[in-house]
Amino acid sequence: MSEIWRLSIEELQKAIRDRMVSFRDVADAYLTRIREYDGEVGAFLSVQADTVLKQAEDLDRKYHRGDLRLESLTGIPIAVKDVISTEGIRTTCASRILENYVPPYDATAVQRLKEQNALILGKTNCDEFAMGSSTETSGFFTTRNPLDLERVPGGSSGGSAACVAAWEAPASLGTDTGGSIRQPAAFCGVVGLKPTYGRVSRYGLVAFASSLDVIGPFANTVRDVAIVLKAIAGKDRRDSTSSHQPVEDYLLETDKGVKGMRVGIPSEWLGSGLDDAIKESIQLITKRLQKMDCSLQEVHLPHTKYAIATYYLIATAEASSNLARYDGVKYGYRTPRPADLEEMYRKTRSEGFGDEVKRRIMLGTYALSSGYYDAFYLKAGKVRTLVTQDYLKVFEEVDLLVGPTTPILPFKLGEKISDPLEMYLTDVYTVTANLAGIPGLSLPIAFTSAGLPVGLQILGPHFQEAKLLRLGHAIEQDLGLERPRLAFEKAV
């Protein structure tokens, strides 16, 4: 079978069941793709080629003997963002300070993938400690957008989005603290889901902002995202913030239809600063939703204008606290031959962290300092409550919200890296979901004449991922969108 790498997870499952391809064939297809094209994209920090091939061959032997039960992800290669712990595989957080760190355990999300005999392809590049919106703050190299190699893939989970967009993996795991799954999904033209806070265990996730961080999947279709979410969701005794809420059969839920669904369109998401091409695409989608017998209405989220300021106070304060552990004593990088303890701390952190991480540590430390805590961090917490109440009120009127994922199209490499505030504003539509802890889905709804993707964001009430996936799948089926040829494919 040719072009195995273009198959969805569902199609791969069927091909394996029908014995049209072997597990080794599937592994070979993606590893070959990575070997041929990732030099241009830069999605992976490390690839476990030998291990993956050996595991695939073991699965083939067991399957031929009849000793293997096929789960939804058996033999499916999945990439993992490098802030998620993987036993025996370097987990660097794309930072020099953890360049040689090898965890002795798996994150729960990775463990659950392995329980289904999924193949962990490797670790994907990201903004350092997940702090960024373009994957340009990685301590190692910059990932490029497969649709246009001169543009960013978004961030912080840029490598996880890019490897799926480049057909180097059928699915991947990323993390979302303020939009870090949804924004790169929009920029790369793939599907990305931020689950409800507590839906997926954070055990083994290297913390950035503990009250905001969530692990979630990327894939090329909504149904594939549903498959991965089902595998990784659920209560974990090792994470006290994970929820006992039952895990639904998300794949089954995608086919239930959307007739009569009440869909809200926040007026705050369609104002100034929104790219015209994105606005036009959103308007076309609303017309399609009406034809699908959805009920549309305009709604208001009045505290949205405070979201960016609130987010960057809370996120940086929590980052300041979480990153205090990297001091050169316990593990990670230590500056060579320091004169004394104070110099070891100072040089280790100044040499090991990049500029963006240091910026956020300083902002967060200032916000938490004596005399400023009440004025900044405490007040941000109160505004966070108001943002959450906005959503609770709106979801009494509608089932879901739709709007743009990002205010702009993917921007050029280097275009915003020297202006942190302009970079932060690319998350203006995504941070509120993290502040409120609600789920969000981004899926591609259009491509411009230049081949750049437009992402639609769908938000829903807590633990209503099934509704998001239902609407997302219905829109995906209605559009029948085909991704343009990739940048490196045009040159072939």
Q: Which two tokens stand for residue 277?
A: 């091409």
Cα-to-chain-centroid distance, residue 267? 26
* 78 close to 170: Cβ distance less than 8 angstroms: yes
CA 90/CA 99 separation, integer angstroms: 8
Contact 401, 390 (CB under 8 A): no
C-alpha torsion sign, points 287, 292, 293, 296: negative
Determine which helix (DSSP H) or strand (DSSP E) holds 277, and give its type and residue range: helix 276-291
User: Any residues with CB less than 8 A from the CB of 433 and at least 6 apart, and which?
Assistant: 179, 182, 194, 439, 440, 459
Q: Cis bond leading into 157, ω under 30°?
A: no
* Cα separation, 390 vs 380, whole angstroms: 15
Distance of alpha carbon 329 from alpha carbon 39, whole angstroms:
35
Residues labelled as active-site residues = 81, 156, 180
> Tokens 């500056």 label which residue?
335
Burial group, residue 323, by CB count within 10 angstroms (0-12, 13-18, 19+): buried
Nearest alpha carbon to residue 444 among 430, 458, 461: 458
Residue 145 structure tokens: 């957008």
Place of tokens 């994150």: 107
What are the tokens at 424? 């932060």
**Spatial contact of 124 and 89, defined as CB atoms under 8 Å apart:** no
> In whole angstroms, what is the distance from residue 332 CA to residue 325 CA?
10
Integer-rounded Cα radius of gyration of the chain: 22
- Write out the DSSP string of 457-480: EEE-STT-HHHHHHHHHHHHHHH-
